[in-house]
Structure 1
Amino acid sequence: MPDVTAPYQPGTPCWVDLAAPDQQAAIDFYSDVFGWTGEIGPPEYGGYAVCRLDDKPVAGIMAAVPMDDQPAPPTVWTTYLASADADATGQAINSAGGTVVMPVVDVMTLGRMSIAADPTGAVFGVWQAVDFPGAGIVNQHGALIWNELNTTDRDAAAAFYKAALGIDSEAMEGAEDYFALSVNDRPVGGMQSMPSALPPGTPSHWLTYFAVADTDGTVAKVTAGGGSALKEPFDMIAGRMAVVTDPQGATFAVIAPQPLNGS
């Protein structure tokens, strides 16, 4: 079922959000592409927009603005991993060789969050839910379906996520050099060495995948809206996918998944 009715297990990707220089333009773009609804939030939430699909939270979009003495965040989609205790997770991240980039903060009564980087440089968020568990709908058109770590050192990354967040990794059957990331024996994401097709020097990163009903049609909408296709639609073991950028340069993937068990 696409509706999320149970709490996210620690280590599971539970939310994604985008920092964009032009927040309203980003909301408009993703609304056109995926059918989301959303608006710039109130000042007490920093203007953060919780976008919705079928009236359920699906992703966040915020303005990429400098905070205090920090530069504006990059225009990227950030994957958040669930935690039962954000402070303890921060300590585990440091102990495992990662870096806490932004210390734990309370987000109103919604939850507690931090931003961290693994030892290979991939940035991710940590989310400890209170009133807001995360994405309320997944695995259907316009919703989050997969989160993939592309890393410059697969062994180091695997050891880190196991130690810091309890995430296991195992070679995925039928997919050469691709590893499933699992929580309690349930696949929650993927990991691979940095693809050779990416420009030299591309840093380790998490890539967000959104499910779509029609990959080619979605890519056409992306390009019509001012985005571009980094990797044109192609067929692979899990379905038909493409990698694209939005008009402000944020990269994400879209995939029309293969039906399970031939259904």
Structure 2
Amino acid sequence: MANPFVHVELATNDLPQAKQFYQGLFDWQYKDMPEFDYTLIEVGDGTGGGMMKNPVPGVGSHWLAYVLVDDVKASTAKAKSLGANIVKDVTEIPGIGWFSVFIDPTGAALAMWQMKQEK
């Protein structure tokens, strides 16, 4: 598969409650990253994820999937040319990689992720 799902992320309006709920349900382990106001979900095998306080006021808690791409700038431009609405343009996570978020023509949200290459 050329572009696999690589990360899933919960934007929640109650982070402590979400962490407690999912740890109780799935026994997930967490790694807090205070420098990014982010919590990694460490699941062992499989696609991991993260949780954060919902950054969009008035929007309910929701999950967002990330797809791995080789060039997030080119992929974001291609999504736009195919009718997507770019809601978060290419943004760098310093030292880690880049992402963007779009709404597809059917109204579904999806994110793209490009990992920083090791030199």
TM-score scaled by length of structure 2: 0.89
State the number of aligned residues.
118
Separation in 2, partners of 1:189, 1:152: 17
Counterpart in the other structure of 2:21: 160
Separation in 2, partners of 1:193, 1:164: 20
Q: Deviations over 1:162-220 (max 9, x none)?
A: 111111222126x421001112599821110011xx2x321111110001011111111
Give the SS at the match of 1:247: coil
Counterpart in the other structure of 2:111: 253
Which amino acid counterpart does residue 103 of structure 2 have in structure 1?
T
Which amino acid counterpart does residue 204 of structure 1 have in structure 2?
S
More strand as a share of residues: 2
Q: Deviations over 1:91-123 (max 9, x none)?
A: xxxxxxxxxxxxxxxxxxxxxxxxxxxxxxxxx
Give the SS at the match of 1:249: coil
Unaligned runs of 5+ in 2: none
Counterpart in the other structure of 1:232: 89
Change (3 A) 1:186 1:246: closer
Contact in 2 for aligned 1:180/1:187 (Cα 8 Å): no
Separation in 2, partners of 1:230, 1:184: 31
Counterpart in the other structure of 1:147: 8
Unaligned runs of 5+ in 1: 1-52, 54-140
Q: Deviations over 1:57-115 (max 9, x none)?
A: xxxxxxxxxxxxxxxxxxxxxxxxxxxxxxxxxxxxxxxxxxxxxxxxxxxxxxxxxxx
Correspondences of 1:16-55 after superposition (within 5 Å): 53=1
Counterpart in the other structure of 1:243: 101
Runs of 4+ aligned residues of structure 1 deviating over 2 Å after TM superposition are 183-187
Change (3 A) 1:217 1:184: closer
TM-score scaled by length of structure 1: 0.42
Contact in 2 for aligned 1:151/1:194 (Cα 8 Å): yes
- What is the aligned counterpart of 1:188 among 48, 51, 72? 48
Change (3 A) 1:144 1:248: same
